Amino acid sequence: MGLNSVLIANELALASEIKHTNSIEVLAGEIGYRPALIINALYEGERLGKFKWDRKKGILTVDYEVLANKPAVMESTLDLCHTIEELIRNLNSDEKDMSFEELFINWLPGVAEMHVRMAVRVSQLLTTYELTDPKDKESTYTFITLAENLSKEWGRKQFNVSKKKAK
């Protein structure tokens, strides 16, 4: 079978994990490949044991062990991954992290959110963490940083909360 079928099957599994759904219709819409590519990937993914495909219900049951080692993805997703890694590396040099929201709106307009999330998920260099806005406890943001800088949580600076000095 074609390499694209294997890579798209990996992306379907990743999208299922990210989106928390097993609906093939939703996942296909999220990753945005032509229907023929999706069908080929479904057959190939099932043959390779990446997931089980319930054709009657139109759902996948993903073997999440497949995702443990950051599976290979399409070249376009890999290129996006490298672009984001370089951007975050540059921001980290200025002791800054970036939220997904800021990345979508300001830096990658027009790029599908799912592709950005997959690119970050398969990166060997990047990781994410969540922060709740101290002024709005209902709002939680996911920040992207280099794994080596995770403990620094530079995303806190975006909330403009001054730390009180200990007396």
Q: Select from 3, 4, 22, 26 the least CA-distant residue to 13.
A: 22
High-pLDDT (> 90) share of the chain, %: 72
Rounded to whole angstroms, how far apart are CA atoms 143 and 153? 8
For residue 55, what pLDDT is reported?
95
CATH topology of domain 75-158: Arc Repressor Mutant, subunit A (1.10.10)
Position 67 scores a pLDDT of 81
Q: What percent of the chain has pLDDT over 70?
A: 94
Note whether 3-67 and 75-158 share their fold: yes
Confidence of residue 167 (pLDDT cuts 50, 70, 90): very low
Query: Looking at domain 3-67, which CATH architecture does it have?
Result: Orthogonal Bundle (1.10)
Give me the pLDDT at residue 161, please: 56
Closest Cα partner for 146 from 76, 60, 87, 63?
87
Residue 3 in this model has a pLDDT that exceeds 80 = no
SS3 annotation, the chain: CCHHHHHHHHHHHHHHHHHCCCEHHHHHHHHCCCHHHHHHHHHHHHHCCCEEEECCCCEEEECHHHHCCCCCCCHHHHHHHHHHHHHHHHHHHCCCCEEHHHHHHHHCCCCCHHHHHHHHHHCCCEEEEEEECCCCCCCEEEEEEEHHHHHHCHHHHHHCCCCCCCC
Give per-residue pLDDT as tens, 107-148.
Answer: 998 898 899 999 999 999 999 999 999 989 999 999 999 999
Does pTM surpass 0.85?
A: no
Confidence label for 92 from pLDDT (cuts 50, 70 and 90): very high
At residue 166, the pLDDT reads 43
pLDDT, one tens digit per residue, over 48-71 is: 998 999 999 999 999 888 787 778
Domain boundaries, the chain: 3-67, 75-158
Mean pLDDT value of segment 157-166: 62
Judged against a pLDDT cut of 70, whether residue 2 lies above it is answered with no
